[in-house]
Chain A
Amino acid sequence: AQSVTQPDIHITVSEGASLELRCNYSYGATPYLFWYVQSPGQGLQLLLKYFSGDTLVQGIKGFEAEFKRSQSSFNLRKPSVHWSDAAEYFCAVGPLTGGGNKLTFGTGTQLKVEL
């Protein structure tokens, strides 16, 4: 069964500082990997995704993530955090088969940005 672990429930960083949110997954084959962001009371917005190819993927809002197969990780990074980045971040994993993909989500990491 596929699973996702986000070890950090809460993270606080200062505005302008760098950010790394951790994500580890368990899956029997090469997975689809996603990062979503959720603002309070809102739906989820896709930040970036990895299917294959270059293991460093660029997303929106200056985010990037690196797929490391040997570590089963897909950590999200941003060089300089903005106050508007404060939100809940979810890592998700899904199978590679087309049609009917079911995503499994991590428990989320709440990001707080100090001014």
Chain B
Amino acid sequence: GAVVSQHPSRVICKSGTSVKIECRSLDFQATTMFWYRQFPKQSLMLMATSNEGSKATYEQGVEKDKFLINHASLTLSTLTVTSAHPEDSSFYICSAQDGSGNTIYFGEGSWLTVV
């Protein structure tokens, strides 16, 4: 099946700094990728839809200036958490829609800890 890879899997950063998480589709081109956030023992919350070559579409309540999304190529989307604070600590998961548009594959997730 299709593979989506995230990097890094775990990252610790200091409060006030920025951190970038990458999401790559390894064996297919993805014009659309999605970024989710998951708090412990909770479901996934969609943060934004990342569109290749255009601006991301953010869900209500998600600060677009804080969570910068760039989808520069058909296989890579990045999420940058700017001026991170401890409350941004969470599990971030990306997903990518395959070429048929029928299936969405998820990355392994990235644990962010802000200290």
Contact = CB atoms under 8 A, between A and B. Distances in A.
Interface in B50-80: 51
A41 interface: yes
B106 A100 contact: no
A103 B43 contact: no
Contacts of A43: 4, 6, 93, 106-109
Nearest to A103: B104
A45 interface: yes
A42 B109 contact: yes
- What does DSSP make chain B's interface, helix, strand, loop or mixed? strand
Nearest to B109: A43
Counting contact residues on chain A (CB < 8 A from B), the size range is 20 to 34
A41 B32 contact: no
Contacts of B109: 41-43
A105 B108 contact: no
B102 A36 contact: no
Give the dominant DSSP class at A's interface. loop
B12 interface: no
A107 B38 CA distance: 11
Given A43-B108, A102-B34, A90 B43 contact: yes
B97 A101 contact: yes
Contacts of A63: none
Contacts of B93: 43-44
16 contacts: A32-B102, A43-B4, A43-B93, A43-B109, A46-B106, A49-B102, A90-B44, A94-B104, A98-B101, A98-B102, A101-B104, A103-B34, A103-B95, A107-B42, A107-B43, A108-B43
Interface of B: 1, 4, 6, 31-32, 34, 42-44, 46, 49, 51, 91, 93, 95, 97, 101-109, 111
